Amino acid sequence: MFFACLAATFVLRPLRDQFGVDRGVDQLPYLYSLTLLATVFVVLPFWWLANRMSSRRFVPLMLHVFTVGLLILAFGLSAAGDYEWSAQPLLGEAFWGGFNALNVAVPALVWIHAVEHFGRDQARRQFGLIAVGGTLGAVFGSWGARLLASQPVWCAVVGAAVLLQVAGFAFLRSVRHCRQLERSAGIPVNAGGGLLEGIRVLGRDGRARSIAVYMVLLGVVATAFYAAQAELVGEEIKSARGQYEWLANKEILTQTFVLLLQVFCTGRLLSAWPAVVLLISLPVVSMVGLSVWWLAPTAVGIFCVDVVRRGARFALEKPAREVLYTPFDLATKHKVKFLLDTFAYRLGDLLGALLQVALRRFDIGTGGVVVVTLGFALLSIAVALKLARSQSSPPPIS
């Protein structure tokens, strides 16, 4: 299921990134505002359904809804022409916002389903394997995007829709086993509570708030690299199709690196090391990457930095972050986790975009931008250390 979900999103990711390069850094705050708006639009019905359905009902429903949305987008792109974003700005903006909401919501469906049925010990053994399946899908999707570079852009969107239906089939294969787990472990099939229960849990649970702050800070730091990519690729590669192919190649290398880390490192490290070591891996690698960007501000430099940084994110930090949710009750797993996976990270993107534009208007140079962003990376490390101190004794939530 995770293979098909990530393959669907990574088929479209280079097209999204190419649109971002076309718009430039100055437009990033506006684009991330669209992202946040689209994400909120998706989150509200998810909350409503999560309160009333078990994951084995609302997950396939949402996969069907997303499939229909992609087919509508494919129809629009078929009439717009290849990469002619300046002639179709509204369609490009709708694609940007919709994809970014989809990019968070679809993988979140997999993890919500997983954390609902796995305890902490099972998660430490199995989440690394689940992540490997997703990374194989990301490699497959990136490879597919590269092959489709010579085809009309709507072909990639149709391919993503088909892959979401493959994910739905894989989900159905898991239902029988999930029912067995529910019967043997007494797992409830409904989270209960009202639509705003996730916000109420955040208000009364300190660790959930710390996870939210941590994810916002990660988003702020990540946007610095995205802004650098938009600048450098736009300056050095003038052809829109050339930008698309460059970004697709970067995704292939990135996800291959993630796969190697997951196969040979993630499972062993999750079992043997404290979660905090993996949680701080992404901020630490980001700090090194910011220094490299300062010293080598080129498209090749940001290419290498982003490959390593996102490898640390998906192979090390992300699985460790998922383990943080396993001690919580079902209400937290359903509501707070999805709220944070969709809203908190996207809020960090928006704040990071505003920060990057403001820093460039102050004309402090690459060094100044790097120093300020390093401060946010250090803050994320501090929050991760706080989370580690509370991990051993989770507070009950009623």
| pLDDT given for residue 338 in this prediction | 67
Looking at residue 311, which CATH number applies to its domain?
1.20.1250.20
Amino acid present at 141: G
Quick check: is 32 in a domain? yes
| pLDDT given for residue 244 in this prediction | 87
Quick check: is 230 in a domain? yes
- Helices (H), strands (E): how many in the chain? 18, 0
| pLDDT given for residue 5 in this prediction | 95
| Angle between helix 2-23 and helix 240-261 axes, rounded to 10 deg | 140
Nearest CA to 274 among 390, 135, 111? Answer: 390
pLDDT at 42 over 80: no
| pLDDT given for residue 83 in this prediction | 64
Report the distance separating Cα 147 and Cα 139, nearest Å.
Answer: 12
pLDDT at 193 over 60: no
Report the distance separating Cα 381 and Cα 283, nearest Å.
Answer: 6
Region 102-108: what's the mean pLDDT? 82
pLDDT at 394 over 50: no
pLDDT at 339 over 90: no
Confidence of residue 396 (pLDDT cuts 50, 70, 90): very low
Confidence of residue 189 (pLDDT cuts 50, 70, 90): very low
The mean predicted confidence, pLDDT, of the chain is 83
Quick check: is 396 in a domain? no
pLDDT at 393 over 60: no
Phi-psi region of 193 (alpha: psi -120 to 50; beta: other; left: phi over 0): left
Quick check: is 63 in a domain? yes
| pLDDT given for residue 177 in this prediction | 78
Report the distance separating Cα 205 and Cα 197, nearest Å.
Answer: 12
Confidence of residue 110 (pLDDT cuts 50, 70, 90): confident
Out of 110-119, 137-146, 266-275, the most confident range is 137-146
Measure Cα distances from 98 to 29, 39, 85, 103 in Å. 16, 8, 16, 8
| pLDDT given for residue 31 in this prediction | 92
pLDDT at 105 over 50: yes
Quick check: is 279 in a domain? yes
Region 30-44: what's the mean pLDDT? 84
Region 293-297: what's the mean pLDDT? 91
| pLDDT given for residue 331 in this prediction | 58
| pLDDT given for residue 197 in this prediction | 65
Nearest CA to 115 among 52, 178, 62? Answer: 178
| pLDDT given for residue 128 in this prediction | 67
Quick check: is 395 in a domain? no
Give the SS3 label for residue 247.
Answer: helix
| pLDDT given for residue 9 in this prediction | 94
Top pLDDT among 391 and 17 is at 17
Quick check: is 397 in a domain? no
Nearest CA to 32 among 40, 5, 286? Answer: 40
| pLDDT given for residue 395 in this prediction | 46
pLDDT at 318 over 90: no
Confidence of residue 397 (pLDDT cuts 50, 70, 90): very low
Nearest CA to 99 among 159, 30, 12, 19? Answer: 12
| pLDDT given for residue 238 in this prediction | 86
Q: pLDDT for 120-136, tens place per residue?
A: 666 666 776 787 888 89
Report the distance separating Cα 39 and Cα 44, nearest Å.
Answer: 9
Range of the domain at 243: 2-186+198-389
Region 41-64: what's the mean pLDDT? 76
Tokens standing for residue 26: 């100055």
Measure Cα distances from 296 to 301, 312, 366 in Å. 6, 21, 10
Indicate the number of domains in the chain: 1
Q: pLDDT for 218-261, tens place per residue?
A: 999 999 999 999 999 999 998 888 898 899 999 999 989 888 88
Say if residues 115 and 323 touch (Cβ distance below 8 Å): no
| pLDDT given for residue 225 in this prediction | 94
pTM, two decimal places: 0.79
Region 284-297: what's the mean pLDDT? 93
Quick check: is 191 in a domain? no
